[in-house]
Amino acid sequence: MTWVAVAVEAVAVGSCFPAYSMCCTITSDADSIGSVKLHSSGGGPRSSWLPSMSIEVVTTTIDYLYELVNEGTNIVSWGGLDFFKLFLNFDLNPEHRRRLHHVLITHFDLKTAYLFGLNSKPGNDIETFFKSAPVAENFPSDRWLSGVRSWQMEAIQYSIETLVFLSNFFYKLDHAYFEDGRNISVGALANGDIVAQQTFSRGATCARRLSNSLQDEITNFI
């Protein structure tokens, strides 16, 4: 089973626009990641990047992720339910909105799954590990917006560390959650209380509330 991790950074705290998107393969070594692919807008001074992705880069990113999903690759994120919303601030055509929606509901957002009650393997302190999770507010936006490529690389490195965290978190979880490749995807979690109860041992009322809340979030992408 092939897994690709994705991260999208906002230009700054409270910004409606994405700075860039980054993807990497998750390797068999939890402490490392595979090759990294950056989707960003070039054209800044001295080979630096522009502050925000252009609509062309956004649609290219959507197409790239959509093709991965159609090839059978599983997409995993930490907070994809939130950061994919940044793409909605562009005037996407109906086909790209459909593709983005498809990527969203078929991918695995481990942050959302954690909030549903995802458990770790016996012996792993998942709560302690969760405290080291990346926080969007910590993205070094001042370095990214500097227009100096060497400083922007510090922001890039922050995202790489986010993907390494995601790889580590992935391997700390019980792999039984991933056996069928879809049982904790965003779409599955939003599909009703039975999935949530079976996967996370949630009570019917709590599971229904969580699923309904997730359905409301997904509606933004339709």
Number of domains in the chain: 1
pTM, rounded to two decimals: 0.86
CA distance 106 to 151: 35
Q: Which span out of 21-30, 72-81, 92-101 was modeled with the highest average pLDDT?
A: 92-101
Domain that holds residue 47: 3-180
CA distance 98 to 110: 22
Cα angle 67, 176, 2; round to 5: 25
Inside any domain, residue 70 = yes
Q: 204: pLDDT confidence band, cut at 50, 70 and 90?
A: low
Inside any domain, residue 188 = no
The secondary element (H helix, E strand) that includes residue 70 is: helix 55-70
Say if strands 3-10 and 33-39 run parallel, antiparallel, or are unpaired: unpaired
- The enclosing domain of 141 has a CATH number of 3.30.420
Could you give the C-alpha distances from 189 to 31, 82, 87, 133, 158, in angstroms and in order? 28, 15, 22, 21, 29
Q: 137: pLDDT confidence band, cut at 50, 70 and 90?
A: confident
Inside any domain, residue 219 = no
Inside any domain, residue 192 = no
Average pLDDT value for residue range 20-38: 81
Inside any domain, residue 176 = yes
CA distance 86 to 84: 5
Task: Please indicate whether residue 83 or residue 189 has the higher confidence score (pLDDT).
Answer: 83
What pLDDT, in 10s, does the model give residues 170-179?
Answer: 777 655 566 5
Closest of 56, 49, 62 to residue 23, by C-alpha: 62
Inside any domain, residue 79 = yes
Task: Please indicate whether residue 123 or residue 45 has the higher confidence score (pLDDT).
Answer: 45
Q: Which residues pair with 42 in a beta bridge?
A: 49
Inside any domain, residue 112 = yes
Could you give the C-alpha distances from 144 to 70, 79, 208, 217, in angstroms and in order? 33, 20, 41, 29
Q: Tell me, what's the pLDDT at 182?
A: 47
